[in-house]
Each structure stands twice: as structure tokens, then as C-alpha cells.
A and B are shown apart, each in its own frame.
Chain A
Amino acid sequence: MDNQEILKQYISQTLLNGRMQVEADDDLLGEEIIDSMGVMQLVAFVEDRFSCDVPQSDITITNFRTIKAIDVYLAKRSL
């Protein structure tokens, strides 16, 4: 499973409790699909699942707005 699929599955099934199926381009933050607490849970998941440390200064709309953006952020981190 690629990163985007892993994130889609976690957000849809765990964070949103199966209430909706998110897509890679959905605006997670602007459309308030996930709230402040959800973001912190998502960051903790990303750190754990992808074995990386996400500094607080990286938790911005640019890096976490969409699943694609998170994927790009992770790709940059692994360079």
C-alpha cells in the first residue's frame, strides 16, 4: 500500500470513524474535515507509521492540507 492509501485509510476509518471516505485532493483543513485534535492525532500517526519526527514548525496548512500534500512532505523528508 502506498503512502496516500495508508493515509486515506487512517483518516477515513480511524479519524472520521467511517463517516466519510476522503480522497487525496480533499481539503482536510480548510473544509474542517479534521479539527485541531484530529490534526494532532494525524501527526502522531504520521510520525509512528512513517518513522519520522514532524517538528511543530512543519505542522502548517502547506504540509497538511491534503493527503497529497502530506505525501509530498514525506517525500521531501526522505530526500
Chain B
Amino acid sequence: MDFSWSDEQLAFKNRVIQFAQENLNGDMVERDYHGKFSWDNWKKCADFGIQGMCMPAAYSGSPALDIMTAVLAMEALGYGCEDNGLTLGLNAQMWTVQILLEQFGTEDQKQRYLPKLCNGEWIGVHALSEPNAGSDVYSLKTHAKKCDGGYILNGSKKFVTCAPICDLALVFATIDPSLGKWGVTAFLVERTATGFSTGPVKDKMGLRTVPFGEIFFEDCFVPEEDRLGPEGAGFSFSHSSLEYDRCFNLASELGTMERQLEKTVDYAKSREQYGQPIGKFQSVSNRVADMKLRLETARLLLYKVAWLKEKGQPAMLEAALLKLYLSECFVASGLDAVRIHGGNGYLTEYEVERDLRDAIGGVIYAGTSDIQRNIIARSLGL
């Protein structure tokens, strides 16, 4: 296993950081307070090539990056971009919609949707969770009834990242509830489809710049040609995308942790109490050391998952270890950063507390920490 980066990869990483710092960080406090999504920044990311970075040139206009380089790029984005909501939205589309479309879509489906998703014209969402199907997600109730020429969808989805502003939804519905997860099938549904509607933006604790919400299907007709893959393959598609999503979204969180650590070290060096920088007090410096340890150990797990995915190997156990560890580290380090910044850290204007609020979602979405522990235990034969 070789974790060294080439000069080209490092140069690309630096370009992503510079792009993010120069373009994506304006009005963050204001946008977070009002829960405003930035379409401008979404489009800027597309113009830079973020959404299309792992898509073939035929759809994105530029050659696809390898997985390790893409992980490095998403880490760089998390470091340079202070808008954690934006990076979550980008990762959600790239790794739970685009990658499934690219791997399992027909040529017609790819031609219709991938260019628009890559160039930022459209936003695509992964619609899986339901009001009564969260951790037990494959007990979903949204039903796809076969009809002449396609399917009729009825049901609803919840906690869908970008649902209120989406143009395209990758919807998981069952064609036969008696088959359990084996009836789960994936469909591509456009916002303009009759019977498709979305609910209002849900107010939330963190990640406020990316809207979450519901999607409703009321006798929504989906033509046969808009089914993704065979009937019953939805379960394995969703499962597969989770490994990518965990890897890349967590890469962005890792980048944020690095930025957070640097900001905290700077503060601990410059803030003086009792006649010396607070970093000289061991109760402060020990916390900084813990933050650094979390950052570096989480990085090793992240790169291992990326390396396994690059080699096309299964990474179920490693992805669960990574999701559990990195997301919990992000929360712990976020809290340490606030403690070290003291009263200032508690103030919104210092932009330290926002990262902590944003981190909390990570221990819940895409499989809670407890579900990750279950996966790890099962992988060990328990």
C-alpha cells in the first residue's frame, strides 16, 4: 500500500483548495443563518469540474479521475470550502446518483442525465429513506405497480438531501412488498413527472445551506425505460453506492477537520491568558494533540477504503469502520475546537460552532454509528 501522492495529484489538490477558498466561502454566516443554498456556487463547482470528475469524458467533457485522486480532491474541497452543506450536496449527487447511473444505466439514460448533472444544470437526489424506513431502510413502502409501458409509483420519501430543489430523483421503490428487500427497484424520475411533488425545506441543526426534504409520489407514471437496472437490483445498487458515498463524503469531512485543526492551533498560539498563549496550557494543548491524532488515524482508514475501491475490492467492513470512526472524530474535534476557542467559539461570528453543528449529522445519516457497529460486529462473525 502506497499512500504517497504524485506531484500532479498534489498540484490538483492545491488547485481545488484555491478554487474553493476564492469562490465558495462568501456570506457563510448569513447563508447558514437563513438556510440558503447557493446555486451560483453549485454551478461554479460544475464549471471547475467537481461534479464530473469521475465521469467519462463523453458525459462530463473531461477525462475521469481515478478514485484515489478523486478522494484527494474531495478532501481538498472540504478543506477549502467552509460550506459543509454544499460539499454534502455535491457528494450526495456524485456518489449516490451519478455513479449508479454511470455503472448501471443504459446509454440512453446516461446521455439524457449525466451531462446535465455534470454541468450543474440539474441536481439529482437519492431517494431511499421513508417515514418508517430509516435504519431498517429496505422495509420501504413506496410501491411501483407494473402497468402498460412502465410503473405507477405511490408513496413518499423523507430526509432526501436536496429534495426541495432537485430536478431528478433516483427513487427506490418495491415492485412486490412480499419480496422484502429483493423487490426494491431503482427508478429515474424527473421533477416534471405527473404525480411527483416535493415538500418544503426542513429546518435543521446543521448543514443548513443544503436543503433536506420529502418527495411524494401520487400515481406517478415512470416509463419502463426509466427503470435503472433490472427489477430487484435496487438493494444491491443502494448498498454499493453507500461505500462510495461513505468514502467521498467523509473525505470532505476530513478536509474540514484539517482546516478546523489549523484554525484552532492558530487561535491557541495567539490568544493569551495569564500572560502567555493558551496553547502553553496542557489542558488546551492536550486537546489539540487529540484533534491531530483523530485527523491522522481517520485519514488512514479513509485512504484504505479508497485504495480498496480503486482495486475493485469489497470494503464493507472497512467502510463501516471509517464511517463510524471519522464521523465520531469530527464531532469530538468540533467540540474540542469550541472548547479551545472558549466564549468566542460559542459565538456564530467566529465560525467554529458551525462545524460542530454540521458534524452531528454525520453520525446519523448514511447509516448511524450504531448501525456501523452492527456491521463491524457481523463482519467479525458475531
Contacts and interface: CB of A to CB of B under 8 A. Distances in A.
A40 B314 contact: yes
Interface string B363-382: 00000000000010011010
Interface of A: 14, 17, 29-30, 32, 36-41, 43-44, 47, 53, 56-62, 65
A40 B179 contact: no
A41 to B, nearest CB: 8
Nearest to B374: A37
B381 A57 contact: no
A59 B233 contact: yes
B138 interface: yes
B39 interface: no
Contacts of A32: 180
A42 to B, nearest CB: 11
B226 to A, nearest CB: 16
Interface of B: 103-104, 138, 179-183, 229-233, 235-237, 239-240, 312, 314, 316, 375, 378-379, 381
Given A30-B179, A30-B180, A62-B232, A37 B316 contact: yes
A33 B118 CA distance: 41
Contact of A17 (B179, B316, B381): B381
B180 A59 contact: no
| Chain A interface, DSSP helix/strand/loop, else mixed | helix
Nearest to B237: A56
Contacts of A30: 179-180, 182
Given A57-B104, A57-B233, A60-B236, 16 more contacts: A29-B180, A32-B180, A36-B138, A36-B239, A39-B236, A40-B314, A44-B314, A53-B312, A56-B103, A56-B233, A56-B239, A56-B240, A57-B229, A59-B236, A60-B182, A61-B183
A32 B181 CA distance: 10
A68 B79 CA distance: 51
A61 B316 contact: no
A57 B230 contact: yes
Contacts of A53: 312
Contacts of A57: 104, 229-230, 233, 236-237
B233 A60 contact: yes
15 contacts: A14-B381, A29-B182, A30-B182, A36-B239, A37-B316, A39-B236, A40-B314, A56-B240, A57-B236, A57-B237, A59-B235, A60-B182, A60-B236, A61-B232, A65-B182
